[in-house]
Structures are given as C-alpha cells and as structure tokens.
Amino acid sequence: MKTVVRLPQEHLPQAYFDVRYEVLRKPLGSPKGSEYLAKDNDAVNVWVEVDGRIAAVGRAHLLEEGEDGSVVDVKANSACPAFSPLSVNPSQMLDDNGESISGNLRPAIQVRGMGTLEEFRGMGIASMVLEACETNSVKVWNAKTGWLQARVAAIPFYQKNGWVCFGPEYHVPNVGPHRSMWKKFENLT
C-alpha cells in the first residue's frame, strides 16, 4: 500500500476522479462529471494505491474567512448546510461529547470526497487517506480544526478516527441522512 499526497495546484490523475465517481456519485445516479468539485485544484488531495491501483480517495480544502462549509452541488443536485460554529454569527454549541465548539477554530479545513472501492473496504486505507488529509492540512495551512458532513453510515468510521458529531441529523437531497462532524488538530504535525 502506498499513500500519495498532492498539494494544491499539483496534477491529479483521471483515475483519482474515476474512483470518486464510482464510489460517491454513480450509486446516486449522478452524471459523469459530477465527481469534480469546486476547489479540487486548491485542495490537499490524497489517495492510497494497492498494487498500483487507486483504492481510496479523499481531499481537504481550506475554508476561507467567511466560508461556513455550506455546499450547493448543482451537478449532483444536492446541498449541505453550513457548519454553524463557523458562520458569521456563530451560536454557542456543544458537540456530542459535551465539548463547547468555540474559540480559535480557524484556519479550518473541510473534508470532502472520501471514498473507498468496495473490494478494499475494511483494510484501514480510508483511515490512511483521512490522516494524510489532516496532517497535510496542518502543514500547508496551519489548520486548527477540520469539518465534514458525514453520511450516517460513515459516522462510526469518522468517530474511530477522532471526529465528533454535533447538531441534529439532516437530509442531503439525493444523498440521504447526514450529520456534521468536527475535529481539533492540536496534536498533529
């Protein structure tokens, strides 16, 4: 197994996008081309290769000042809500562990496009992708926190990797039930 990291503006192979489409978009009936996301070229993109084949992908992008993580995905005909602690007028909020989501939350990154081909699931490679997204976000942007919108079925995976849910469950059109999650990057280098 080999972890590959591409920093912002570095070339991404078509095979990377093919895996993203196969895992995340095709099962939803989304059209080819919907696997390309805004900010792909400005993101830390990561994949794990098994025997030279891309098996798992993911990426993290910087949430600029004023960005709250809300996403309208026209190509996939879906939308995700804002991370309210990052909004212009943040409200005091506790995560599912009872910790207050406040203080120095930026620079902040958002993880999107995480997916593993079915035959490679359960091998720990998605955790390798996520860890590389996190550590490289700290190196590139000095990220203090990470944010993501998790499909309900994926929540145990993210929890195992130190992410914590907050706020109520919500429905993402054409995708299904989700929860927002966050993680502090205090001890990453």
Average pLDDT, integer, range 87-107: 90
Q: Domains along the chain?
A: 2-184 (3.40.630.30)
Average pLDDT, integer, range 138-166: 97
Residue 101 is which amino acid? I
Average pLDDT, integer, range 112-127: 97
List residues bridging with 171 in a β-sheet: 177
Peptide bond into 173 cis (omega under 30): no
- In this structure, what are the phi and psi dihedrals at residue 100, rounded to the nearest 5 degrees? -70, 130
Q: How many CA atoms lie within 13 A of 168 on its CB side?
A: 2
Does the pLDDT at position 188 exceed 80? no
DSSP 13-34: -HHHHHHHIIIIIGGGTPPTTT
Give 24-81 pLDDT, tens digit per residue: 999 999 999 999 999 999 999 999 999 999 999 999 999 999 899 998 887 777 788 9
